[in-house]
Amino acid sequence: MNKVNTIAIVGGTHGNELTGVYLARKFKNNQDLITRPSFSSQVLFGNPKAIQECRRYIDKDLNRCFSPADLQNATLTSYEDARAKEIQQILLSPEGLPIDIIIDLHSTTSNMGLSILLGSEHSVLLRLSAYLSSISDEVKVCCSPKSQNGVYLDSLSDFGFAIEVGAVPQGVLNAELFHKTEKLVLVALDYFEAYNQGKLPEIPSSITIYQYIGAIDYPRNARGEIEAMIHPQRQFKDYQPLNPGDPIFLTFAGQEILYEGTSTVYPIFINEAAYYEKGIAMCLTQKKTINLSTT
């Protein structure tokens, strides 16, 4: 990417994640905050109906509706499928090209702190993430493979990414996380302005990322009912190492269930409320350091 020309800031892809909703409203009403000389910025409310009802979605999860096949499938007629097609058109340039950068704002009930979620290990995204990490040691960087990321709203841009903050309950604003998220967005915009001007700030020589490798469901019985909870020793321990033999679940009768993996992993999205319906108790990552001088 030689130059950033267009950036979209999206809030309310999930209607009950209020950090993004209210930040988008603030940016919409104070356009000067996101205006930079060398590129244009726009604000988009992802799921207006869900925002109005303070629900994650109306018919289905909007943030799983952006695969190329779904966007081209005229038989998919749910509210979110129709909205995904609208968003795809909104985020095209006048020349019909995809928008350069998408920053999709999310919050989570998991203890994810300030997380940058990437869909690829492209050098542009890694260097931005390294810079954001350098200004706050609270920032963690996760990367999902393209096969996973292709269904997300930010996949409409090759350089799209999400900011995920937590822990915060659904339908609730947390002032500290709101302002920390705002700062991350504004610093990212400043970074892209410096990128365009050829005056990039100094960044670390390497970056640690957490690479998605899979997910674990809750233990369930034959009827699909949950039979165990996140173990108290694992609750709120996002990004902390989980070793073979460590407690991971606790049954209602008080029996510990141990992690049976063969290597140390780093769980994220632990006990995320919205993932119960998806059959996910936590996502597993492996920790990886990337030398930026070779990217």
CATH of the domain at 117: 3.40.630.10
d(CA 161, CA 153): 9
Tens of pLDDT, residues 61-104: 999 999 999 999 999 999 999 999 999 999 986 677 789 999 99
- Give the percent of the chain with pLDDT over 70: 97
Residue 230's CATH number: 2.20.25.160
Write down the pLDDT at residue 200. Answer: 94
Instruction: Give the range among 98-107, 110-119, 286-295 with minimum mean pLDDT.
Output: 286-295
Per-residue confidence band for 293, with pLDDT thresholds at 50, 70 and 90: confident
Whether residues 195 and 263 share a domain: the answer is no
Q: Is residue 291 part of a domain?
A: no
Tens of pLDDT, residues 218-275: 999 999 999 999 999 999 999 999 999 999 999 999 999 999 999 999 999 999 999 9
Q: From 204, 233, 249, give the residue that closes a domain.
A: 204
Residue 148 pLDDT greater than 70, yes or no: no
Whether residues 94 and 177 share a domain: the answer is yes
Q: Is residue 295 part of a domain?
A: no
Q: Is residue 294 part of a domain?
A: no
Per-residue confidence band for 192, with pLDDT thresholds at 50, 70 and 90: very high
DSSP state for residue 265 in the 8-state scheme: B
d(CA 232, CA 240): 14
Whether residues 173 and 237 share a domain: the answer is no
Whether residues 139 and 17 share a domain: the answer is yes
Whether residues 191 and 275 share a domain: the answer is no
Residue 276 pLDDT greater than 80, yes or no: yes
Give Cα 182 distance to the centre of its chain: 15
Task: Tell me if 111 sits within 8 A of 169, measured CB to CB.
Answer: no
Q: Is residue 257 part of a domain?
A: yes
- Write the CA distances from 12 to 57, 59, 78, 104, integer angstroms: 10, 15, 18, 9
Q: Is residue 190 part of a domain?
A: yes
Q: Is 110 helix (H, G, I), strand (E, B) or coil?
A: coil
Q: Is residue 47 part of a domain?
A: yes
Asked if residue 167 has a cis previous peptide bond (ω within 30° of 0), the answer is yes
Q: From 183, 204, 225, give the residue that closes a domain.
A: 204
Average pLDDT over residues 202-220: 96
What is the average pLDDT score of the chain?
95
Helix H or strand E segment including 43: strand 40-45
Residue 150 pLDDT greater than 80, yes or no: no
CA angle 123/127/131 to nearest 5° reads 170
For residue 3, how many C-alpha atoms fall within 13 Å in the half-sphere facing its CB? 8
Whether residues 173 and 30 share a domain: the answer is yes
> Of 54, 7, 51, whose CA–CA distance to 33 is shortest?
7
Write down the pLDDT at residue 146. Answer: 56
Write down the pLDDT at residue 255. Answer: 98
Q: Which domain holds residue 227?
A: 212-285
Whether residues 196 and 222 share a domain: the answer is no
Residue 202 pLDDT greater than 90, yes or no: yes
Residue 193 pLDDT greater than 90, yes or no: yes
> Of 274, 283, 281, whose CA–CA distance to 117 is shortest?
283
Residue 198 has a CB neighbour count (10 Å cut-off) of: 7
Instruction: State both tokens at 128.
Output: 């931005």
Whether residues 275 and 155 share a domain: the answer is no
Which residues, at least 6 apart from 252, have a Cβ–Cβ distance to it below 8 Å? 227, 228, 229
Whether residues 36 and 114 share a domain: the answer is yes
Write down the pLDDT at residue 98. Answer: 86
Q: Is residue 290 part of a domain?
A: no
Q: From 147, 182, 204, give the residue that closes a domain.
A: 204
Instruction: State both tokens at 233.
Output: 């020793």
Plot region of 153 (φ>0 → left; ψ -120 to 50 → alpha; else → beta): alpha
Place of tokens 């928008």: 99
Whether residues 23 and 154 share a domain: the answer is yes
d(CA 275, CA 281): 7
Q: Is residue 293 part of a domain?
A: no
Whether residues 221 and 261 share a domain: the answer is yes
Whether residues 39 and 112 share a domain: the answer is yes
Domain count, the chain: 2
Give, rounded to a whole angstrom, the gap between the first and last alpha carbons of the chain: 14
